[in-house]
A = this chain, B = another copy of it.
């Protein structure tokens, strides 16, 4: 019986695993960057060497998925190959190459009484990661956590359980050859949903929860957790085409944001278009949408004017399509566009296309979102596209970190005061 199997059978395993992770986090927090990087390289090699073991275990999840008749898209995300495992390894090597934020002096000064104050960057401690079917999160999140000096407790989706168990077993075997304690990466290897809820309130041992997945997973965590949550992801993103929008830019940006990867959070879901612009360019817009196989859910004006539009429901305005559909709302002013985004946006990424700098300025300053764009695609809201390196998710909340979260988002600070007897 492996350690993981015994854990699954032990009812108190979540708490015990979180405690073990916390203990490991204290050793990990004071490791230097060189030791952490060496460890990441060893993990990368280990994953490549053990690829066939991981693929065998992955096959069990795929088999199960076929029996349950999961969608093709789902099976694609679940499926591993030798090449994907090599990508995991390469991802770890890239994280090793990112700057270590830990130990950075954020600010320092000396008080009149001679006491020195240093604000230093330190790891958060233990990160609880709750996610759905993609086994790549198991590797990516572990790499980012370890590099930033944090232990991690992973709770993946049940459909990827064999893959995740195999990956974490390889990671723990790898860690045994490094300065990082093997307990620093833990997988809650059960398909019992209660295991997640146990994590929600484990404030003593888990410092932050990061949910990654669909809206319902994220809402459950936000609503039930007392552990602080870094909320990631749902993006109901809008492209506002102003009356002064350049035709080519508008179409390029719209089609890129809608079709490049329709299922991701920075894809566009609604086009808001100024009626003056639409009057001039309606036929070319309709043709381009048709060419790209995009179906239109429109407001009254659009439904009456477009050949193939269906009426948009409240849900169409409020939620992601995650596919080749778009909602189209017509407006008579930028103000009206901003009001629509205020009402339906999820504070992720919003774009305006216009040649009018003053209008752009109003939009950029008034829109409340992690990322706002003038004449560029919302698809750039992504750690690697913006040059941060790997990211652990995209925060749509305002506290702590907003937008793509790289290594610094996994740290906090500590005030370190040095005196020679100062009192108040």
Contact = CB atoms under 8 A, between A and B. Distances in A.
A293 to B, nearest CB: 18
Nearest to A379: B424
A105 interface: no
Contacts of A208: 398-399
B117 A26 contact: no
Interface in A122-137: 122, 124-125
B248 A421 contact: yes
Q: How many copies of this chain are found per oligomer?
A: 2
Interface of A: 26, 29-30, 109, 111, 115, 117, 122, 124-125, 207-208, 222-223, 226, 228-230, 246, 248-249, 252-253, 256-257, 260, 342, 360, 364-366, 368-377, 379-381, 385-387, 397-400, 402-403, 412-424
A246 B414 contact: no
B386 A111 contact: yes
B415 A228 contact: no
Given A124-B398, A379-B424, A398-B124, A387 B419 contact: no
A235 to B, nearest CB: 13
B377 A423 contact: yes
A208 B342 CA distance: 18
B402 A412 contact: yes
A122 B367 CA distance: 11
7 contacts: A109-B387, A256-B424, A372-B415, A372-B417, A374-B418, A377-B422, A399-B412
A151 to B, nearest CB: 13
Contacts of A369: 414
A15 to B, nearest CB: 16
Contacts of A397: 228
Contacts of A260: 423-424
B222 A375 contact: no
- Nearest first, the 6 closest Cβ-Cβ pairs linking A and B are A376-B419, A256-B423, A249-B421, A398-B412, A400-B400, A379-B424
A223 B201 CA distance: 9
A104 to B, nearest CB: 14
Nearest to A374: B418
Given A228-B397, A399-B400, A399-B412, A375 B421 contact: yes
Contacts of A385: 424
A402 B106 CA distance: 13
Contacts of A222: 226
A30 B402 contact: no
Contacts of A377: 422-424
B249 A420 contact: yes
Contacts of A248: 421
B124 A414 contact: no
Nearest to A360: B418
Given A111-B386, A400-B399, A253 B376 contact: no
Interface centre among A208, A230, A342, A368 (most CB of B within 10 A): A368
